[in-house]
Amino acid sequence: MKDRDHVQSIAKCFTLLGHLAAPDSPFTLDDLTRKTRYHKTTCFRFLKTMRQLGLVEQNMDKKTYHLGPAMAALGLKALKGLNLRRAALPVMQALRDETEETVNLSLLSGTEIIFVERVMSDYLVNANINVGDRLPVYCASMGKVILAFMPEPHADAILGQLDFKSRTERTIVSAAAFKKELAEIKNRGYALNNEELERGLRAVAAPIIGYTGEAFAAINIAWTTARRPSRRTFTEFAAKVVRAAEQISLAMGYIRQS
């Protein structure tokens, strides 16, 4: 017997949104029709309605659909109650106090990272980034470290969608160089950002591993070369951010392999 309170239209919309949130998104109407097995007309009507609501956007040139700004807004509201943020905040505060530098927390969102928490240093000069802001994975320490500790097929799917653009002369701008960088990050356990996003800004990041054993978030320490010009800071802060990430991972259900 069918549940009379079950609204099939809403369920179908969430199925479409689930596909659009997948690592290999965006998709065309034909792609989504094939994946959902809905009639093409039905699929189009749902997508049109969700476009009007801001839940979905369409790239008119490529005829593909992707998640819209309203989804990001809803997600940010939900993030306030996430176990991740609750588990990470005290660890981040302790790390900020220990290093006297800004500590950031992010989640992967498509080909970008989204900042979900920041614990700022007391310095007047800080990166102009707010909770909810996004950065491309290839020029952000947290983006690089999440991809490095994801299953390779998932990382490759994201890598195939990247549109590399130079932010500084140190930005990685090729898929081959980026893939080599990911292998090095996986080997050493943390990622560096040496002025790849902005001149004078450095960071070191470590992955947050969930109960599945895969990275889904990251934490970093960010500072300016004006305050800390020595490259030794990378080594000094790497051990601290890795230890902090491990604490958060354990709180999120990760079981360390013996």
pLDDT in tens, 223-257: 999 889 998 999 999 999 999 999 999 988 777 66
Query: Rounded to an integer, what distance in angstroms lies between the CA atom of residue 107 and that of residue 18?
Result: 17
Residue-level pLDDT at 79: 55
Are the folds of 8-73 and 80-251 the same? Answer: no
Residue-level pLDDT at 91: 96
May I ask the CATH class of domain 8-73? mainly alpha
Cβ contacts of residue 156 below 8 Å, gap of 6+? none
Does 92 score more than 80 pLDDT?
yes
How many Cβ atoms from other residues are within 10 Å of residue 160's Cβ? 11
Q: Which residue has the higher pLDDT, 246 or 123?
A: 246
- The amino acid present at 190, given as its one-letter code, is Y
Residue-level pLDDT at 124: 62
Q: pLDDT band for position 18 (50/70/90)?
A: confident
- Domain residue ranges of the chain, discontinuous segments joined by +: 8-73, 80-251
80-251 belongs to CATH 3.30.420.10: no
Write a three-state SS string for 187-214: HHCCEEEECCCCCCEEEEEEEEECCCCC
Q: Which residue has the higher pLDDT, 127 or 69?
A: 69
DSSP, collapsed to helix, strand or coil, labels residue 15 as: helix
Is residue 117 within 8 A of residue 88, CB to CB? The reply is yes
Residue-level pLDDT at 4: 62
Long-range contacts: 1-10, Cβ < 8 Å, 24+? Answer: 9/46
pTM, entire model: 0.69
Question: CA 151 → CA 125, 163, 191, 213, 257, distances in Å?
Answer: 37, 21, 17, 10, 17
Return the DSSP state at 111: T
Residue appearing with tokens 């927390």: 105
